[in-house]
Structure 1
Amino acid sequence: MITTAKYIRVSSKGQNEARQKDSSMVEYFDTISGVIPFTERPEAIRLLEDVRTGKIKTIVVHSVDRLGRNAYDIQTTMELLNREDINLIVENLGLHSRIDGRQNPIFKMICDLLANVSQIERESIKERIAEGIAIAKTKGKYKGRVKGIIETNEEFLSKYKSEIKLIKNDSFSLSQLNKMTNISINTIRKIKSML
């Protein structure tokens, strides 16, 4: 049966995905950084498999930046979906990539522009975080993790429940896992040693 899918992405567990949810569609939900290429995200991979088998013909995203935070990757993903004759709908713009089965040139123009804006926004966020940490350090307010905290393996692993499945997957390198989960490489090594 051909259906419409909603692709949802949040960068971290703390983010609220409610604005992206839509129970009227099949949902594919990734908690992963937008810098990870679309074709390397677990739920996006599953979505693309369903596209290739013909189960999905329309994909809805809340905004262009849900596809990613790298302009090249967003444009590559849109081109991949176009080759599969997928109608990509960007909700917050009310734009469809295909109209009457043909590619919508206005969609491509606007989304290419927004892909670049998304990348610039991510770089700006990184700069603001680094500046904030530097200011907090000079004021003595940023100290990092408190030393001497002791927790059991179960308590430690319980903080990473949603990431453990990815970390168990040996097809990803430590640096890929770091980008996908926003967990440091040393912490990923520690998790792997406990599994």
Structure 2
Amino acid sequence: MELKILDIKGNYTNKKIEFNDKIFFKKSYNHSIYLEIKRYLSAQRQGTHKSKERGELSGSTRKLHRQKGTGGSRKGDIKNPIFRGGGRVFGPKPRKYLTKLNKRTKNIVRKFIIEQKLIQNKVLIIENFQLNVPKTKFILNLLKFLKLKNKKSLMIIGEINKNLYLSSRNLKNFKLLNINELDCFSLINFPYIIFSENSIKKIYKFLSI
């Protein structure tokens, strides 16, 4: 498979990137994708939920009525869970939702998703460029030239670029990631992927499993 590199005006250049067909998988990894997406979404949870149990509430500890002889059930104090405003029985406590997934499995999932995008012709490669000042209009024009305006697009760059980040953070259907931040959820959530020329060389570490 061969992809030509585009310039920032959306025109083809003389440069190209070749992908050896031997690196592609011959089977599906849908279950691995499920595990990775589940791990990613779980990691986004704050886990700060908390409800007070009976012993954590402030209030009177006076026994509401005597134990026997009233015809009613035993109730204890006002903090009893059976009352409105009482303590919660086995309520949620702060916890972490992190789950572990092997690094190799994560790389396999990234590779599989990128391969599917390649097969669907939803991967573009643009030559390296510099942005000296933050300018959102530059990103809008770039997407227009690439015919991706109003389409959900993910751009992967090889090096951190603060001006590029500031230029793109206010766009609705666009996300910018450094190659080291690449996650499977973003790869799935954005139909189109734009690789910079310097990032595509680093992406081979995912494609050489």
Task: Give the alignment's TM-score, normalised by structure 2.
Answer: 0.24
Q: TM-score, normalised by structure 1?
A: 0.25
Q: Which has the higher helix share?
A: 1
* Greater relative CO (CA pairs within 8 A, separation 6+): 2
* Higher alpha-carbon Rg: 2
